[in-house]
Structure 1
Amino acid sequence: MAWLTGWTYRKKVTITGQSGAGTNYQVLFKVGETSGATGEDFDLEGNSTSFPTGKDVGGDLRFTAADGTTLLDFWVEKITGTTPNILAYIWVEVSADLGSNQDIYCYYGNAGASDYSDGDDTFVFYSGFDGGSIDTAKWNTALQVGTWSISAGRLKGTDASTFRLPSKNPVLSGMSTWAIEWIGEGSTNYAVAVCSKVDNTGLFTSGYHTLATIPLDLIYIYNEGAGNSGGAYNYLTNTKYKAKQFYDGTNLEFKVYLEDGETLASEYSIADGTPPANNYIAPRATGGITYWEDLFVRKYLATEPTYSSTNSEESLQLVELSDTINLSDASNYPEAILADTITISDSLINDIAHYATKIIRLDSTNMLIVTDTDPAEI
């Protein structure tokens, strides 16, 4: 099995597939810095040189397909705990067809690795609301209703009446099922709210509208303007909630969690086998000030592919020094290298062609191969 160049450790991770999942499905893994991390799927045994320390901080981690080298996109949603027992919540977009069980690899142990966490590459649609202004490539500010801005890494909407911000593109186009997730916070009327399958103006009566109301303490689901309510809960002002909207081809379900994303506050669903024909999404609220952060759209099945198991840690203890060996005399020890092509040269030895060499390497199956040249046979 090929090895990702530059990384010292890896673990094989097995995913339980589900019929119909297809390719490029996003799977959530809970990865521990060490075995002391609470709630882990698997851990890296303290061998990551720069374990993720926050949202969208990938550290030295890489995920690959089953071939060991094809990189997979991933995004670090959040971390909990403190070092050395940090737990990272990591979404990985798996390129293989998860209609059946599949293996991937998690690599770690590379002090020179760059950050590879990227929400845009991982999800069907992602908006982290970073920077100082609204990303007009993702959101259609020309058709916004109300006042919208970016405030401390969050989308902020405010108006005395209904306000909305439609997506620039029909992000749900071609998706017969989907999940939309985000974190929301409201000051007076709404705790969390997002419209889906709406037209390009974001008008809630043109599609679905899922919301949790603070004053009424209920979940409302509107289907092209027709309202349905349930899921009673005492929502609080100025409090973050994790919201998840799911459509499985038959039912539209809305779940609201506490900020940890694990503790369910309330849920409600309606049956609808024929969703609206529109494909835009839109944050929406009425009155007061409402915030959105880390909004993403991903693939979804009612029974999702999930983490199954992890093999024991594998290690590759090679030292990368050079792709050139300089020879001086027979008393020198050979250098360790990691390269596809080896050049042997030295200005002090005239008869370079008759110098004995010993090359020790691993083949494609990690078997040790020793190549020893004898000057008498050259």
Structure 2
Amino acid sequence: MTILDKYILKRYLATFGTMLLLFVPIGIMLNLAEQIGKMIDNEAPLNEILIYYLNFTIYIGSLLFPIFLFLSIIFFTSKLANNTEIVAILSSGVSYSRFLRPYWIGASIIAVMMFFMGMFIVPNASKGYNEFKFEYLKRCRKDRVTSNIFNQLNENDYIYVSSFDPARRIGYNFTFEHFNDQNQLDYKISASNIRWVPKDSLYRLTSYTKRKIRANTEIIEKKRRLDTLFIFNIEDLTPVSYVAETKNLFELDEFIEVQKKKGASNINTYILVKYRRWALPITAFILTVIGVAVSSVKRRGGMGVNLAFGIGVAFIYIFFDKVFGTLAEQSGFSPLLAVIIPNLVFGILGYYLLKNAKR
């Protein structure tokens, strides 16, 4: 690694680190100012508040990594351009491609860090962050799907509830169907509601009805109330909306496979989380290319013009990402395409800007 590589790489990483150190504390203070009243009203313990803001730092920092990276590159590369350092570097015989090498090295370091954090560190922080948020900050809001819940437990068993109350752990209009190996209905259990009783570690069914099919004959059994056991957990009826964010690389793959077998209606949400994690390191390279191409040319407006352009591009990128993400979550749009299209569009934009910058 030459002096040039070390010089640019040092500026690259130092500016990125400074951005994080400057803006993350600001984010914490703004969040604290907004939520302190709810924390006091809901009597959140001090130790849990401290852990929440540790998780908040990791969680929010990971979300803003690409934006901080992009603005960092524009900031320090614009300073190089305004000080005519880039002109001096290229005039000395260094090609533009060679000039970009330390940027590629820096992007690789950030990409590896983003991948490792996104796959293993952020999921744990996301769990603590969301659990605190829904426990103390959004008590009256739903954190999961609570209507028309259908799950396939295994090859033979299916359950359905028309609605679910997570606070009371009650499912309404419960149905359990068991099919035999010939894929014929063996018996069906229905109840007006199903409640988990933690004290006795069992389920309580109200207005219980069981229909058995035996040799073309239907046998009906009814009870006002029945305490029994099932092979599922009451929480598995409807996982929390952020459950995919709390799974690491290996847990997420396993969780998605289980949800596919169950026929989960919001499976696209989980798959989208998986693809976004894999695409995040690629984003580091795309934004690096765009940032260098935009800011390596000295402009009359100076750094302000470059930063304004960079912020505009960042907001457009977020808009594209949100639009296609929403399409994947709420319609039949492919989660893979929802991740690929924004990166492909901005990858092409980066290539175009880089060709013009070389001129």
Given the two structures, how large is their TM-score scaled by the length of structure 1? 0.24
Higher helix share: 2
What is the TM-score normalised by the length of structure 2? Answer: 0.25
